[in-house]
Chain A
Amino acid sequence: MSGWRARRPGAVILGAVALVGATIWWFGAAWWTEGQLLRADPNGLPADPAMMRFALPRGHAIYDGYCATCHAAGGRGDPVRGMPALNDSDWLYGAGTPADIERTVAYGVRSRHPKAWNLAAMPAYAREVPSPTQALRPLSPAQISDLVEFLTQLQGDRADEKAAARGAALYAGQAGCYDCHAPDARGDPAIGAPNLTDRIWLYGDGTRAALYQSIAHGHAGVCPSWLGPLSAAEVREVALFVYALSHQPILATAE
């Protein structure tokens, strides 16, 4: 008993030292791995299972805390609020590589950060001044309807042929849609202009009424700049998680 009492303080101190050492080792290992994560080419990371195993659970937690409020759990998005889905292969900005996603997470979209994506916004053609930055003329109700028919036809749905032809002329002419959405209407990921030929809609459900609303009232969605609130490592971790949302096998393997 007396021997145990004599050994006890040493054991407690040793235990405490071991605990502190383990904590330092744990933080040190995480810090070192974070360093490796940051120094690596972001586009090459998905092929590194060890790094993905490290990054994805952290990215998942960050996503749930910061991104899910708008983009919904699992990256489903919310077309009512114009929040893009992140779990498909359709990317508004860039080509959906980890580096592209990381840039969007870091600097945002129309976030007022000087490096944010902020080159264009959808004009509101039913307003006297459709765009504050571009010299565009408003459209009449009939012209907006013609554009709607043109877009409906682009989807492969039945549309009023004559109205669609007028809409096509407006698209390529007075309305200036081609300037952002490209002459073939397949969008431009360099400025975040959506592809209008697929059936993926950022706002609404692609019905005539929803299209009319978008053309008439315009859109300019925002995404915060997270570099600051999140560290560079956290930005990369959440970017990798978002990338994995649209590459489910990676997500399944790593998590």
Chain B
Amino acid sequence: MSDLSISATETRAVTQGGRRTLILAGIGATIGLIVAGFGLFTATGTSTLVVPAEDVALVNQQPLSRLDFIAALQSSYAITLADATPEQRRAVLEDMIREEVFVQRGRELDVASVDPDVRAAIVRSVEEQAAAPAALENPPDAKLRAYFDAHRDLYATEGRMIPRDLVFADATSAAAALAALRPGEESPAAVLAASGGRDSGKVEGEEFYFAAKIHLGAALFEAARLLPSGGVSAPIAADGVHVLVMLRNTPPVPLPYDAVRGRVLDDYRRDAINRLQAREAAFLRKRANILLAPDLR
């Protein structure tokens, strides 16, 4: 009997232990509730009555960013947030709220289905979003070098030339002029005067290859491109008979990678953007349920 009896000290210890357990359990539960409540009412997409610190308002739970509010204040009044009067702040906020409710109404009315401007803006926006990862990609040097090696012909100095395009009425006078020019003793002006030819005036001074091609036309440009500095072409029949005199020809010179790294990066990104946008278009088409009219199948 004495073995089973509980001393007063032990009873007090048990009671104190139970009270302590309860207090600790209560503290634990309170902390748990605080954490859960915080998570519940601040999680993205949660309906809340509290405007997040980064926003200035919630319109049907759609946040209006503080960043945009400050930018709008600056563009409307050229003023900082601290310097803006309450009236200025209210006016800008009212404008933002008005815009938001109209945008939301626009979604309800599905204006994108009828307004070509909205449709175009949405298409552009989606394209841009699809392109963003590629536009900002910072590929490692090895990748860029590989791209450079695969497109080496793109990375050269711009070819430049100073040609004179002499035009003659017929092949005979062109041949006579050619004979006079080849020895290199007479200037084109003197030859023109003697043979009745004229300078076409298509080229003015030194030009980049692309400009010379536009001005001379593809056929004459191809002949000109192959002429060395000081060279004279054979007569070329094309809207009269032409003789090209190349005063100076500086063909494109391939550039080393280090000199064109920026251009390589731009081109790499451009190609990546095109690929991403094409992939996005293909994906959207693939997941869409498209039914074609019988006459257009």
Contact = CB atoms under 8 A, between A and B. Distances in A.
Interface of A: 6, 10, 13-14, 17, 20-21, 24, 34-39, 41-44, 69-70, 80-82, 97, 99, 102-103, 106, 108, 110-115, 126-128, 138, 140-142, 203, 216-217, 219-220, 222, 224-225, 227, 231-233, 235
Contacts of B263: 217
A192 to B, nearest CB: 15
B24 A99 contact: no
Given A82-B262, A111-B132, A114-B125, 13 more contacts: A13-B24, A24-B31, A41-B82, A44-B82, A81-B261, A106-B67, A110-B135, A113-B128, A138-B208, A225-B132, A232-B53, A232-B66, A235-B67
10 contacts: A20-B31, A99-B81, A112-B132, A114-B125, A126-B158, A138-B208, A140-B206, A142-B206, A225-B132, A232-B65
Interface of B: 13, 17, 20, 24, 27-28, 31, 34-35, 53-54, 65-68, 70-71, 74, 80-82, 125, 128-129, 131-132, 135-136, 138, 158, 160, 204-208, 210-211, 214, 261-263, 265-266, 269
Nearest to B42: A31
Contacts of A108: 136
Nearest to A127: B210
B24 A17 contact: yes
A42 to B, nearest CB: 7
Contact of B262 (A21, A70, A203): A203
A140 B161 CA distance: 10
Nearest to A126: B158
A99 B265 CA distance: 30
B57 to A, nearest CB: 13
B27 A140 contact: no
B131 to A, nearest CB: 5
A41 B67 contact: no
A140 B207 contact: yes
A218 to B, nearest CB: 9
A235 B205 CA distance: 53
A138 B209 CA distance: 12
Contacts, number: 113
B136 A111 contact: yes
A18 to B, nearest CB: 10
Q: Is the interface of A mostly helix, strand, loop or mixed?
A: helix
Contacts of A42: 70, 81
B53 A99 contact: no
A244 to B, nearest CB: 18
A202 B262 CA distance: 13
Given A35-B53, A70-B138, A112-B131, A17 B214 contact: no
Contact of B35 (A24, A203, A227): A24
A233 B80 CA distance: 19
Among the interface residues A43, A219, A225, A233, which one has the most CB atoms of the partner chain B within 10 A? Answer: A43
A251 B158 CA distance: 47
B262 A138 contact: no
A112 B54 contact: no
B203 to A, nearest CB: 10
Contacts of A227: 67
Nearest to B207: A140
B20 to A, nearest CB: 6
Contacts of A138: 208, 210-211
Nearest to A217: B263
Given A126-B158, A127-B210, A141-B160, A232 B67 contact: yes
A194 B208 CA distance: 27
A233 to B, nearest CB: 7
Among the interface residues A69, A81, A138, A140, which one has the most CB atoms of the partner chain B within 10 A? Answer: A140
Contact of A38 (B66, B125, B206): B66
A81 B208 contact: no
B208 A102 contact: no
B210 A128 contact: yes
Contacts of B31: 17, 20-21, 24
Contacts of B132: 111-113, 225
B80 A99 contact: yes
A111 B133 CA distance: 9
Given A17-B27, A20-B31, A38 B53 contact: yes
A97 B83 CA distance: 14
Contact of A222 (B20, B128, B135): B135
B211 A140 contact: yes
A14 B27 CA distance: 10
